[in-house]
Amino acid sequence: MRIIVVSDTHGRTDVLERVLAAHPDADRFIHLGDGMGDIELFRERHPTCPLYSVRGNTDTLSTDPEMLDMTVAGQRILCVHGHTFSVKRSDEMLRDYAQKAGYDIVLYGHTHQPVYHYSGGIHFLNPGSAVSGVWYRFGIVDITSTGVVCMTAEIPRNTHMSGS
């Protein structure tokens, strides 16, 4: 099971298109907020793509939830933008919440900085801002029978898709 995670696209729909093109066999795509218009346009273009999303602090008109709780391949996953947990200051509040609620994986954004760490039996992944310099940033979560692997990743912005 492969999940591609994107956050903070801030009006850059091309990021979602490029990441989808780079990972067409992913089982799920998750957008962690601050890109409501990008998400809506992407859904119009790709209505069958399994895209899940949460509302970020700049998504004031979004009807997306602030938190998404899902179980995928036996792993309980929390998806949040992160602003309601003050993650720019520290991830302590988010860690406490996740531990008490029994999550296996926590996906969050808001800080614009890519981060992965494993703490207290929980994988924490922030893909960072989707657009950074010459890179498109995103996260990858692989859930297999042997365990969970999370990582931050990036592809060069100048990568051309066929037909572009």
Q: Residue 42: what pLDDT?
A: 93
Residue 69 maps to which CATH number?
3.60.21.10
Is 161 within a domain?
no
Q: Residue 163: what pLDDT?
A: 40
Domain count, the chain: 1
Is 59 within a domain?
yes
pTM of the complete model: 0.94
Q: Residue 157: what pLDDT?
A: 85
Query: How do the pLDDT tens digits run along the chain, 164 residues long?
Result: 999 999 999 998 888 999 999 999 999 999 999 999 999 999 999 999 999 999 999 999 999 999 999 999 999 999 999 999 999 999 999 999 999 999 999 999 999 999 999 999 999 999 999 988 889 999 999 999 999 999 999 999 875 544 43
Q: What is the dihedral of CA 2, 12, 157, 160, to 10 degrees?
A: 80
Is 163 within a domain?
no
Q: Residue 164: what pLDDT?
A: 37
Q: Residue 83: what pLDDT?
A: 97
Domain around 69: 2-156
Is 47 within a domain?
yes
Is 46 within a domain?
yes
| Long-range contacts formed by 73-78: CB under 8 A, 24+ apart | 73/1, 73/143, 74/143, 75/104, 75/105, 75/143, 75/148, 76/102, 76/103, 76/104, 76/105, 77/3, 77/103, 77/104, 77/105, 77/106, 77/107, 77/141, 78/103, 78/105, 78/106, 78/107
Closest CA to 87 of 8, 1, 2: 8
Is 13 within a domain?
yes
